[in-house]
Amino acid sequence: MNEHDSERIAGLLEQDGLEPTDDEAKADVIVINTCCIRENADKKLYGTLGTMKTWRDADPNRQIVVAGCLAQKDRELVRQRAPWVDVVLGTHNVHRTTELLNQARTTGAITEILDEAIVDDYALFPSALPVRRETSYRSWVTIQIGCDNTCAYCIVPAVRGREISRPFDNILDEVSALAASGVTEIFLLGQNVNSYGRDLSLASRRAGDESVRVAPQFAALLRAVGAIPGVQRVRYMSPHPKDMREDTLLAMHETTSVCEHLHYPLQAGSDTVLAAMHRGYTVQRYLDRLVEARRTIADLAVTTDLIVGFPGETEADFVQTMEVAATAEFDSAYLFIFSPREGTAAAAMTDKFCDPGVMSERYNRLKVVLDHSAVLKHRARIGRIEEVVVEGSSRKNPDHLTGRTRQNKLVHFPSPEKLRVGTYARVEIIDAARFHLAGRLLEVTALPTHRTRLAVTSA
């Protein structure tokens, strides 16, 4: 979500006449679009702002913007610790970036944070805003903002607000326009996509329209997006295990363009810890749904998020997490060490905080389990023929290309010619490592048709 906001800010600046540059010395404006999900971001921000003071002071025309959810959370703190910042804005007024920059030139530093999403929030009706996409063939599409859950460790509801779904037809209009411009892969974004539409249905029923189904509409959305001509791949992130339903799995199975990849955040493998986290599901329910997902969708890759060291986590709880992770056989996982986010329920559990040394030891132990499973999953693909979309040259070997499979796995392969980003090809998998596969190009199946140029810089 944060990266998608960066694309919008970059699009707005570009529309205002600015050009992207990788060279700080040539820049007139630097935007730091923050994310406060993890503690490290705070430390990094203030360190970076400290070093940027010299850059800002060297030319009175230079401006600095701090945007994003850390700015939303720490609005006054950013101003106090870095008074040389020109504009501080939050998650609900990204659309105001250029106006605030121009205003700050005459009035001096500005802080503008909205506490709630406005009705015509840019994220709900984003077509009104320009976007400078990082990738030419793939586009993020916001379907929902905010979150109504209360996960004890999570700052998102505080900085992104209540859950608001974007109107169904509005999403389809954007996807149709993207597909018409040559985008072939759509990535649907929301904090809890399975509950997409719940607020829309309830609002309609409150208004007296009983014909509107209260049942979640995410499955219908997946089918509708996947059926738009030109859309070849559909992905989404993130579903919440407590809201994962059979109709979503069926929609994934029956909609050819929906990729065989499910990001399914477990967070912990102990019922005690899950309850303390307020996650709303048990391990058994999670695993049952996982079995059903794999049974419904052939060749499904499953990735997850896990937190070690949640307050009160005992060694026995942690061992259960390792066992569940081994049972689940994830393709890969984002593994985090718990860090308290001010204002969350977990941050107040100070008497139950785990020892930092214990947390990092648990991190390393769980990583062994996850790495083992990832390598096995990758090795199982050797000998298979995969459809990949070319993402560009391999970073390690410029003679190789890098592509991504439908299961979201990276594949590096040599190519006699430099295929354009967005090209579809068939590749035989010949080797596997923890983070990538190695392949042999068999044939190009479709050339990119996108008319937008490839963006190279994020804000």
- The residues of the shown chain that bind ligand SF4, judged by CB under 6 A, are 147, 149, 151, 154, 156-157, 191-192, 240
State which residue, 72 or 423, has the beta carbon closest to ligand SF4. 72
- Of the pair 149, 393, the CB lying nearest ligand SF4 is at 149
Q: How far is CA 336 from CA 281, 325, 366, in A?
A: 20, 14, 10
Nearer to ligand SF4, 190 or 448 (CB): 190
Q: What is the CA radius of gyration of the chain?
A: 23
Residue 135 Cβ, how far from ligand SF4 at the closest point, in Å? 24
Q: Please tell me the distance from the alpha carbon of residue 408 to that of residue 185, in angstroms, as a whole number.
A: 12
| Least distance in angstroms from the C-beta of 418 to ligand SF4 | 40
In the complex, what is the shortest distance from the CB of residue 143 to ligand SF4, in angstroms, rounded to a whole number? Answer: 14
Contacts of 118 (CB under 8 A, 6+ apart): 92
Supply the minimum distance, in Å, between the C-beta of residue 303 and ligand SF4.
15
Q: How far is the CB of 148 from ligand SF4 (least distance, A)?
A: 8
Where does residue 68 fall: left (phi above 0), alpha (psi -120 to 50 degrees), or beta otherwise? left
User: What is the closest distance, in whole angstroms, from the C-beta atom of residue 146 to ligand SF4 in the complex?
Assistant: 9
Beta-carbon contacts of residue 253 (< 8 Å; ≥ 6 apart): 296, 297, 298
Q: Could you give the CA distance from residue 229 to residue 260 in angstroms, rounded to a whole number? A: 19
In terms of CB distance, is 267 or 423 closer to ligand SF4?
Answer: 267
Give the nearest distance from C-beta 189 to ligand SF4 in angstroms. 12
Beta carbons of 16 and 63 less than 8 angstroms apart? no
Cite the DSSP H helix spans in 74-119: 75-81, 97-107
User: ω into residue 393 within 30 of 0, thus cis?
Assistant: no
Q: Which is nearer to ligand SF4, 156 or 421 (CB)?
A: 156
Task: Give the type of residue at 359.
Answer: M
Please, which residues bridge with residue 238 across strands? none
Which 8-state DSSP code applies to residue 40? H
For 162, residues 6+ apart whose C-beta sits below 8 A from its C-beta are 116, 117, 146, 147, 148
Q: Least distance in Å: CB of 149 to ligand SF4? A: 4
Q: Which of 161, 224, 149 is nearest to 194 (CA)?
A: 149
Task: Using the minimum distance from each CB to ligand SF4, give the nearer residue, 147 or 459.
Answer: 147
Q: Which is nearer to ligand SF4, 13 or 123 (CB)?
A: 123
- What tokens appear for 312 in the block? 């009160």
What's the closest the beta carbon of residue 192 comes to ligand SF4, in angstroms? 5
Q: How far is the CB of 315 from ligand SF4 (least distance, A)?
A: 25
Q: Are 249 and 297 in contact (CB under 8 A)?
A: yes
Residues in the chain: 459
Q: Quote the distance between the C-alpha of residue 345 and its chain's center.
A: 23
Smaller CB distance to ligand SF4: residue 72 or 192? 192
Candidates 430, 452, 439; CA nearest to 390 is 439
**Smallest separation, CB 191 to ligand SF4 (Å):** 4
Of 45 and 156, nearer to ligand SF4 (C-beta) is: 156
Q: Between residues 57 and 116, which has the closer beta carbon with respect to ligand SF4?
A: 116
d(CA 244, CA 454): 35
Q: Give 254-286 as a 3 state SS string.
A: HCCCECCEEECCCECCCHHHHHHHCCCCCHHHH
Quick count: other Cβ atoms within 10 Å of Cβ 184? 22
Looking at the Cβ atoms of 156 and 300, the one nearer to ligand SF4 is 156
